[in-house]
Structure 1
């Protein structure tokens, strides 16, 4: 009898054998179908890898599977191969890698079918005036139904804040009705555009021509200065593939960017556009996933995990802001969606476009090596000019909650001219910490090697590393003094100062605290786009992709942050962030200016960035990394371990290194760095250590990783620590 060899979502890095369920037709089974099986005390959903003729498990210990859940594999063959390749490359258990490539409901064993078949809509003759002024909730619900003439599910109604129990009242008043919706899989629109494309300049036209002329797989690095019209290049290239009956997948780094991206695409295309990100309900995600798989959705926009979305007719993949570290999963299955996009393009033989104003050093290296074709947009779209930079040396200048007097005067001048000002400060909260003026005690997190941030709304101390919170103390924990003072300035404190300095102008704060509510970011953007003079203050959420036509002054309050980082990528990220923020200035008819407050106005990195641009900086940075044998000129992986007691994780990694270093059969050319305590050794109550492996030979590095994992899996000491492996790490902390 053939045995079912399954990948099970578990930490165990092996496959599991089961007997076929009773009555199963083995002739129809295909690799990739889901199978429900007993696993310990639970029932779990695995994925069939193969039918095996032999098994190493004694027959009396083999359990029969409960049921085969699919007639055909839910994942197309290319996604199945991509997930298997990713699990192998990132040294992650195959069962979990395959599970992560499926929507949550399919992981739980739910049917692979649309969940939102029962939808609601307003009746054809429904009129809002039929509801009295006292029925405010019913009016809101009816308006929501009217906004969705094609129907909306009860789950989506709840997600939008509607009250589903009121549906019955609307039905009784003949204002609403339910119906069964079945997507039309054959619908094709002969007029795919809502609006005419914009006129391209020569650089944009060259980029579109190159991308659309591609036959088969090729990776493009589209480097365009901020405001150069990269999105218009995306739109016109996608139009080419849409007219061929194909689909486009667009990845953006953060949920905050999806509303404006979706709005831009829906305004241009008269076609179904679906969105995939973590704020959707499980039902919404499954429906969007199925629409993409069946070709109903022609354009799919999503965050990192959307790289595993199946496409019936794949045409092109775009990665927007490709340099962004959000594309790297930092927990569990540590894949990089940008790199997986390149592998997926190869598997499906379609072009992949990596777009950014500030490419990652790795991407520039690949372009120089000829792996990527380099396309450049050096001119801003239309008549917009690049912003002018001013380095404002604040040494010996008095600062008012982080703002110098010369900067305050410039803010005043721009507001009086009727334009908008953007203040960038990458620190949430009121102040980075609280200190005792008498003894110097600083409010620290009890679970991390970090200071706690002071927040005023609501008033509390908050650790942004482990999320622990506590009330603000009345007296010093060390000496009992009442003289506790906030130290430094965060976005809340700077907001208070600006409101006091410019009471006649609105001050709008944009950070994680002000954008938690659904659609909060969109409401802020709508307010800014009204064009009235105002001050925007925020963190890096403001730096990416937003278009503010009336912003003429961008002020970076602390341009020095990151210059002296322990991470070798610190300088690169600082440069990217500065230029991304600077790119918000002068994007339309009004000329822009960028003022950078700094204590290091003569620092060579800052001066070269301002005078010569990002490409000159990146060339210098790449040269230094090659000379220092750092990525991307060398391949890198990191073992991380954490334990309950100091030194325990470090000892575990040290024993592991000693065992393997003494083995003469180990691959040659592996460099070991560590083990050492992590830069932040204590985090969330755990003591952390790391061991870095480097090699010029990728194959040798992966062989060594495999050997280490085999060693760890058989080591009883490994159960006393929590460990993980991170291939191609982007965060050395």
Structure 2
């Protein structure tokens, strides 16, 4: 009988499945770790990754070999995934309490699991031919650096990969050019060097990709820059992944999923807008791409550059300078306070809405300022982080509200197509002609959404003309208007061309975009973001508003030619709030110091470490019963680290029911990160055992969220 070798394979296995991290199969030959294979799983054939190399003399006996299912095939032509990639995946699985296969398979392009060996061979052949045809060798056209940019580039070059850099630069200070220079230096120094550049959202990728292609395509070829994000088609993702894995792509641009790209020559990692919550995955394996980028940089001796005008408090604290009493943080902070071209930061103007006409959406002073901008041919941006026409429909007679029948949330009124939509489960229905409860035909919208703001502005500006005597043009960019393929790119192109006078949008237009003609930004209802039990609410609002303000006045020459000044208008009922006071002076350091002191006094992150355990069940009682039992089992078992971890009582989540599933959560907190990790690792087997008990069968699922961003 032919000798068979046992091979451990990482497969797509959720952590709560209790199957284990790796499954063992039989192979006729020794397979190197990182080899991609297809294996049978039940009645299916799935993709897997060889994880561990068998011992030199290890071959099962004939009887044992019969008990192992053989692998179905090897993906020849694709080099094994490098050891550094497997270490990254293993660390992510260990730290975020997931299975190795779940992380590994999520990091690979889905189409890789579907191609036959013949199809894969054709793809690889085409990729090599395209790379050869795209080769180029022309010197890049460089722009002149400001004194601040030159100093920062020199500091990064001198610091090598010793520790991460936090580039704290004002909006419009030229951080992107610093990224370009640092990537250029690495690629020029090593013909095999690769760079990873991450952005928080898909809609920022094309703009950044255009900058990188313009800079690097003349020298390295058009195929040297590829993108990776979930908005790409299957063939596009596979093509980019293969180019990165083979080293043909020198630069990978992408969202959080790109942190797992196979880059054997990785030397530079850039995390732009590092404060953005989008870097934290909120479904499945809840990893932080920013934190994994830092770990990966250290493991692969690559430079890591975190950039933001409003850094996260975790990064700000980690980059604190050394003092006599404090050795300082792990990062090196670099500062670029000035805007390119001597452009000034926008003046912040607060409007006290308690002194304005009742129920006014736009205060008279703000409306006059927008009108003035339109008449001068300038652009304005109006920010409201809530899409739809109104958050809820309401009956004044019986107090009926448009609640979702499947969630503990309201259905949002969308006037354009006369629908009520739940933004949590997706349930959609037509707007009823009368109140379903009492028959009152006069049901009213409560609250404001971007759709309503757009309609109101069209009405208010209907008689306002541009310099060419054309009527004012108002547009809206949010998740509803950008669903169609290419819609976002088309609207952004219209904005850049000056075809739009007033743009209404959510946070997706408040960061990263380089609009040259915007001279006014207005936040209409920012107070809603402060009505939250989340201790990060003030930080999030400050970052959003400061990033939004940064869209105004980016072109100093344009402002001077117009004889205008950039402004940020904020309509609020609490103008004395610390968030708005700090915004008026653009004083992020003072705001961060005040907030960090409050967190230190309260023992909250970054001065403590947290994890959430969530249970989903058909009833709230079943969900909380599982968490109570898990807490009791941990105490009875005396798990390691328990004396350093505080377990809060289980409570319902803020939105406790989604798609007819009740959700409960339990917070864990510790002053020692390692103690929390030891406890979570030892707790996993108990959670699996509890899940299997008959009284917990109604449980739908449970999950662990390490370093949660929302509680």
Aligned to 2:325: none
How does 1:448-467 map onto structure 2 within 5 Å? 448-467=407-426
Aligned to 1:253: 200
Residue 2 of structure 1: CA displacement?
4.0
Task: State yes or no: 1:319 paired with 2:271.
Answer: yes
Deviations 1:375-430 (A, max 9, x none): 11101111211100011001042256621222111111121222111111111111
Three-state SS of the structure 1 residue aligned to 2:80 is: coil
Three-state SS of the structure 2 residue aligned to 1:218 is: coil
Deviations 1:168-194 (A, max 9, x none): xxxxxxxxxxxx97234698644241x
Three-state SS of the structure 1 residue aligned to 2:410 is: coil
Deviations 1:318-371 (A, max 9, x none): 111111111111111111111111111112111010111110111111112421
Separation in structure 2 between the aligned mates of residue 720 and residue 108 of structure 1, nearest angstrom: 34
Task: State yes or no: 1:700 paired with 2:675.
Answer: yes
Deviations 1:254-307 (A, max 9, x none): 111111111122222223311111122212211111112222222211111111
Aligned to 1:152: none
Deviations 1:662-694 (A, max 9, x none): 333442211111211111111221110011111
Separation in structure 2 between the aligned mates of residue 654 and residue 298 of structure 1, nearest angstrom: 51
Aligned to 1:724: 703
The answer on whether the counterparts of 1:401 and 1:489 sit within 8 Å (CA) in structure 2 is no
Residue range with higher mean Cα deviation, 718-727 or 69-78? 69-78
Using structure 2 for the length normalisation, give the TM-score: 0.89
Separation in structure 2 between the aligned mates of residue 19 and residue 404 of structure 1, nearest angstrom: 69
Three-state SS of the structure 2 residue aligned to 1:403 is: coil
Separation in structure 1 between the aligned mates of residue 239 and residue 500 of structure 2, nearest angstrom: 42
For structure 2, the residue ranges without an aligned partner over 5 or more in a row are 321-327, 463-470, 560-564
Aligned to 1:177: none
Residue range with higher mean Cα deviation, 257-266 or 105-114? 105-114
Aligned to 2:533: 566
Separation in structure 2 between the aligned mates of residue 347 and residue 701 of structure 1, nearest angstrom: 22
The structure 2 residue matched to 1:4, chosen from 2, 7, 22, is: 7
How does 1:286-325 map onto structure 2 within 5 Å? 286-325=238-277
Residues 232 and 69 of structure 1: CA distance in aligned 2, closer, same or farther (over 3 Å): closer
Aligned to 1:166: none
Aligned to 1:494: 453
Separation in structure 2 between the aligned mates of residue 637 and residue 473 of structure 1, nearest angstrom: 43
Residue 719 of structure 1: CA displacement?
4.5
Task: State yes or no: 1:264 paired with 2:239.
Answer: no
Residues 708 and 55 of structure 1: CA distance in aligned 2, closer, same or farther (over 3 Å): farther
Residue 54 of structure 1: CA displacement?
8.9
Residue 585 of structure 1: CA displacement?
0.9
Residue 471 of structure 1: CA displacement?
0.9
The structure 1 residue matched to 2:579, chosen from 597, 605, 611, is: 605
Deviations 1:449-497 (A, max 9, x none): 1111110121100111211111111121222211101112211111111
Aligned to 1:412: 371
Aligned to 1:575: 542
How does 1:428-447 map onto structure 2 within 5 Å? 428-447=387-406
The answer on whether the counterparts of 1:634 and 1:694 sit within 8 Å (CA) in structure 2 is yes
Task: State yes or no: 1:485 paired with 2:444.
Answer: yes
Aligned to 1:423: 382
The answer on whether the counterparts of 1:565 and 1:571 sit within 8 Å (CA) in structure 2 is no
Equivalenced residues, count: 666
Task: State yes or no: 1:25 paired with 2:26.
Answer: no
Three-state SS of the structure 2 residue aligned to 1:529 is: helix
Residue 18 of structure 1: CA displacement?
3.8
Aligned to 1:83: 89
Residues 204 and 399 of structure 1: CA distance in aligned 2, closer, same or farther (over 3 Å): farther
Task: State yes or no: 1:215 paired with 2:160.
Answer: yes
The structure 1 residue matched to 2:339, chosen from 380, 387, 400, is: 380
Aligned to 2:618: 644
The answer on whether the counterparts of 2:475 and 2:500 sit within 8 Å (CA) in structure 1 is no
Aligned to 1:49: 51
Aligned to 1:585: 552
Give the alignment's Cα RMSD to 1 decimal: 2.3
For structure 1, the residue ranges without an aligned partner over 5 or more in a row are 120-179
Residue range with higher mean Cα deviation, 497-506 or 709-718? 709-718
The answer on whether the counterparts of 2:33 and 2:80 sit within 8 Å (CA) in structure 1 is no
Residue 517 of structure 1: CA displacement?
1.6
Three-state SS of the structure 2 residue aligned to 1:562 is: helix
Residue 109 of structure 1: CA displacement?
6.3
Residue 608 of structure 1: CA displacement?
2.8
Three-state SS of the structure 1 residue aligned to 2:294 is: helix
Residues 234 and 489 of structure 1: CA distance in aligned 2, closer, same or farther (over 3 Å): same
Aligned to 1:158: none
The answer on whether the counterparts of 1:564 and 1:571 sit within 8 Å (CA) in structure 2 is no
Residues 481 and 616 of structure 1: CA distance in aligned 2, closer, same or farther (over 3 Å): same
The structure 2 residue matched to 1:275, chosen from 227, 230, 234, is: 227
Residues 649 and 665 of structure 1: CA distance in aligned 2, closer, same or farther (over 3 Å): closer
Residue 66 of structure 1: CA displacement?
2.6
Residue range with higher mean Cα deviation, 91-100 or 263-272? 263-272
Separation in structure 1 between the aligned mates of residue 155 and residue 134 of structure 2, nearest angstrom: 30
Residue 243 of structure 1: CA displacement?
1.5
Residue 117 of structure 1: CA displacement?
6.9
Residue 69 of structure 1: CA displacement?
3.3
Separation in structure 2 between the aligned mates of residue 572 and residue 359 of structure 1, nearest angstrom: 10
Write 1 or 2 for the structure with the bigger share of helix. Answer: 2
Deviations 1:83-102 (A, max 9, x none): 11111111101111111222
Residue 64 of structure 1: CA displacement?
2.8
The answer on whether the counterparts of 2:22 and 2:101 sit within 8 Å (CA) in structure 1 is no
Residues 389 and 277 of structure 1: CA distance in aligned 2, closer, same or farther (over 3 Å): same
Task: State yes or no: 1:239 paired with 2:184.
Answer: yes
Deviations 1:235-254 (A, max 9, x none): 12222122223222111111
Residue 372 of structure 1: CA displacement?
0.8
Residues 392 and 115 of structure 1: CA distance in aligned 2, closer, same or farther (over 3 Å): farther
The answer on whether the counterparts of 2:578 and 2:591 sit within 8 Å (CA) in structure 1 is no
Residue range with higher mean Cα deviation, 315-324 or 267-276? 267-276
Deviations 1:79-131 (A, max 9, x none): 11111111111110111111122221234465494665798xxxxxxxxxxxx
The structure 1 residue matched to 2:482, chosen from 515, 519, 522, is: 515
Separation in structure 2 between the aligned mates of residue 86 and residue 273 of structure 1, nearest angstrom: 26
Separation in structure 2 between the aligned mates of residue 650 and residue 382 of structure 1, nearest angstrom: 58
Aligned to 1:136: none
Residues 238 and 71 of structure 1: CA distance in aligned 2, closer, same or farther (over 3 Å): closer
Separation in structure 1 between the aligned mates of residue 19 and residue 547 of structure 2, nearest angstrom: 41
Separation in structure 2 between the aligned mates of residue 114 and residue 515 of structure 1, nearest angstrom: 36
Three-state SS of the structure 2 residue aligned to 1:714 is: helix
How does 1:29-178 map onto structure 2 within 5 Å? 29-50=31-52, 51=54, 53=58, 61-70=67-76, 73-108=79-114, 110-111=116-117, 113=120, 116=123
The structure 1 residue matched to 2:660, chosen from 685, 697, 702, is: 685
Residue range with higher mean Cα deviation, 45-54 or 110-119? 110-119
